[in-house]
Chain A
Amino acid sequence: MRARKVMAGTLSVILAGSLLLTGCGSNTTQIAKEDIVKVWTFPVEKNYAKNFDAVKADFEAKNPNIKIQKEELTWAEGGKKFDTTVNAGNPPDIMFIAPSAKYISTGLEVPVENYLDAKTLADYYPSGLEYMKVDGKLYGLPLYMKIQTMGGNKKLLEEAGIDWKSIQQNGWTWDQFKQLVKKGTKTNADGKQQYGFVFNGSGVDFSELLDHLNMNNGLPYALDKNSKYTYTNPKFLDTLKFIRSLITEGISPKEANQITPQKRMDYLYSEQAMIIFKAMPYYEVVIADNNKKVADKTAPAGQKQIDFVLLPEPHADGQQAAVLGGVDGYTMFKQKSYNGDQEQHLKNIAKVMVALTSSKAGASAVTLNLPQVTKSGEDMWKDKYTMSPENKAEVDRLFKTIVPPTQVNPDKSLKAIKIYDEVIKPDYQALLGGDKTPERMFQDVQNKAKELFGQ
């Protein structure tokens, strides 16, 4: 009986509470003189929330009629939330995402050039802006430039007799890579299996090695300048064969398609991997953090302090060495139905976007060890970088070999994405697992390309 009374009491309190709280919570409509710009972002780097708030405070002080409303998403599910709202016609004004044919096809992604003046735009380096374009139209602004490459454990490289300094400067071919890296596969000092080369074949971007090696084999992008599909070229088959041979020759683990990015790092830390893919300049910071943990004994048993060197990716014989570059940044969206002065709102959005990517916002690039995207950022932050001189020199060298993106027709780009997701990705998993030969996979790609492109 008493229990029932308590239950009833709790229930009424809960119900009353819910009514009260929703009463205050639902007050979303505002008769606003000030324009609210909604920004969705992610924890981009460890200090990003702080950096963002500083930029926001600065901006709002200078533009009292514009308010920035920030929502921080999670990496795991944020994309799906965004996709849902885009397809419901209700996306935020600014999203931390690269422009893509997928979003442009909804009609809600807005080209920004009309809302920016030439002087503002001139502050951005053109190489970075190029990545924010689709079919020649600019849809957003970059926050930092990025490059992805390989990296190695200096000690293990030297043990295997590899002259990493010379490789940094001169690069290497696929054959040279195999010959040298093979020496890294052995039993290590702890009696564990060590591999010459460990790459992530599982996780979000599990097929990135394929893209990078294609790029180093004269196939930088699925679509070339004339929007022609390129993965039906026999060179694609050569790339597949090369990757497969890394596994059959024992250079990489035969469980490659289950190596997550985390596992790849674990192998690096426990000296079970001599060279890892992928690696970014920021890893110098990540690895230094882990070295500290090893010193404090808070790292898992068996982990060692690692001296990390960035390395160029090997290229096919007779092909140019190339690096996959890119940017991360903000793109601009509109809603299906906006109550108010749409044009003025878009102008304000563009202003916010500039503030979120230039000068003061460059702090993020510093944390990530990546170059600035604006001249104003360069001036403000150039003395703040802390990177080992060798790696810094390597980053500068690698930036010179970046292949700029191609500007292609969005419809064709969607088809290329479809081939990639429906055929290349699943087949690639099977290729790594030994369930599919390179020839079979190449055949599958050709068949699908014929179906979609008729070539």
Chain B
Amino acid sequence: MKGEIKDLKGASFYIKRGLIYMVLILWSLFTFLPLYWMLVSSFIDPNSSASLQFTLVPKEFTLASYSYFFTFNKNVLRWLFNSLLISGVVTLANVFFASMAGYAFSKLRFPGRNAFFWTLMSSIMIPGQVTLIPLYILVVNVFNMSDTYFAIILPGVVSVYNIFLMKQYMTSIPSTLIDAARIDACSEFGIFRKVIFPMAKPGVAVMAIFTFVGQWNDFFWPFLVTKTSTMRTIQVGLSSFKFADSTQFGPMMAGAVIASIPMFILFFALQKYFLQGITIGAIKG
């Protein structure tokens, strides 16, 4: 694809490219540090205190921390399942609802549009610390949902951040396409499904990852509204490794490694969409 212009590239092109690579590699090595450290520490003996030390070169290698992690509580697999279920449902719900709302706010004209949008937006400008107790009273005392999946899922079913993200992403989809579809007598939902959603796929993929990761890593709310061990999420379960002054670092890190695998898988499954450049012609045809 790039073959035909290759002859035009001079030495300066390769120097530039080389520099870009160098900066990116050095930088990404640095950002990788926390992840690397997590991995190295997970291979340390659960009883060793060495993991608290920061070392670049691993001093020991044993899978003992992993087996410790899987055996210390009989519900470990259940926690993983809970997290998968909750994050999965929340992500799918957001993909569906936030992209619909994003479409309405970006491409449709209707009375009250701005009022609705700004009401939604201003709600994310209030720090969560002050709405925490009213929300808890509502979910636990009023709706009596304590210790259920609903208590964790419902407040996150559609996030204003995602609506805003989708609105911004869909803004640059040409309105002419929508008009054309309207002339072809597509219903609004048909337009959304056949025209908008496919074109917004890169944005939706990004949103799906953000939502999944955000929900997966959420700690305090699931911790607050669950009480039995079987209802806990993996992040809440992981925190129970902390004991008084000392922390069982090895198993905690082993758990963190296991807990990040689903996010890795989702990332690699969806990342191809981010690259997908969409040409208008392709959609029209």
Contacts and interface: CB of A to CB of B under 8 A. Distances in A.
Contact of A299 (B49, B89, B223): B49
A21 B224 contact: no
B19 interface: no
A76 B242 contact: yes
Contact of B244 (A26, A75, A300): A75
B141 A45 contact: no
A88 B140 contact: yes
Interface in B46-63: 47-50, 52-53
Interface string B22-56: 00000000000000000000000101111011000
Contacts of B140: 88, 90
A28 interface: yes
Interface string A63-95: 000000001101111001100110111100000
B18 to A, nearest CB: 37
Interface stretch (B110-118, B144-152, B199-207, B210-218): B144-152
B245 A76 contact: no
A25 B148 contact: yes
Contact of A11 (B92, B145, B223, B227): B92
Contact of B243 (A46, A71, A262): A46
A14 interface: yes
A227 interface: no
B124 interface: no
Contacts of A26: 145, 147-148, 150
Contacts of B97: none
Of A25, A80, A262, A265, chain B has the most CB atoms within 10 Å of the CB of: A25
A22 interface: yes
Interface residues of B, number: 40
**A interface bracket (residues with beta carbon within 8 Å of B):** 35 or more
Nearest to A204: B245
Contacts of B89: 14-15, 18
A298 interface: yes
A22 B244 contact: no
Interface string A272-311: 0000000000000010001001000011100000000000
A77 B220 contact: yes
A142 interface: no
B219 interface: yes
Contact of A76 (B45, B149, B239): B239
Interface stretch (B1-9, B130-138, B189-197): B130-138
B57 to A, nearest CB: 12
A18 B243 contact: no
Task: Summarize B's interface: helix, strand, loop or mixed.
Answer: helix
Given A77-B239, A84-B136, A299-B49, A18 B141 contact: no
A261 B147 CA distance: 35
Interface in B158-207: none
B258 interface: no
Contacts of B246: 286
B85 interface: yes
B133 A43 contact: no
A14 B137 contact: no
Given A26-B148, A43-B243, A90-B141, A14 B88 contact: yes
Contacts of B224: 81, 84-85
A17 interface: yes
Contact of B136 (A75, A85, A266, A290): A85
Contacts of B47: 293, 298
A325 to B, nearest CB: 19
Interface string A241-253: 0000000000000
B40 to A, nearest CB: 14
A8 to B, nearest CB: 10
A81 B222 CA distance: 11
A399 B240 CA distance: 33
Interface string A20-32: 0110011011000
Contacts of B98: none
Contacts of B100: none
B231 interface: yes
A17 B86 CA distance: 11
A77 B52 contact: no
B192 to A, nearest CB: 17
Given A22-B148, A25-B149, A293-B48, A88 B137 contact: yes
B137 A89 contact: yes
A285 to B, nearest CB: 12
A22 B231 CA distance: 10
B262 to A, nearest CB: 13
A29 B50 CA distance: 47
Interface in A86-120: 87-90
A25 B223 contact: no
Contact of A87 (B92, B133, B230): B133
Nearest to B50: A300
Contacts of B132: 84
B156 to A, nearest CB: 14
Interface string B63-96: 0000000000000000000001100110010000
A80 B220 contact: yes
Contacts of B145: 26
16 contacts: A10-B88, A11-B92, A14-B84, A18-B153, A25-B149, A25-B231, A26-B148, A74-B242, A81-B223, A81-B224, A84-B132, A84-B136, A262-B245, A298-B48, A299-B49, A300-B53
Interface of A: 10-11, 14-15, 17-18, 21-22, 25-26, 28-29, 43-46, 71-72, 74-77, 80-81, 84-85, 87-90, 261-262, 265-266, 286, 290, 293, 298-300
Interface of B: 45, 47-50, 52-53, 84-85, 88-89, 92, 132-133, 136-137, 140-141, 144-150, 153, 219-220, 223-224, 227, 230-231, 239-240, 242-246
Given A26-B145, A293-B49, A298-B50, 5 more contacts: A22-B148, A43-B243, A80-B220, A88-B140, A293-B47
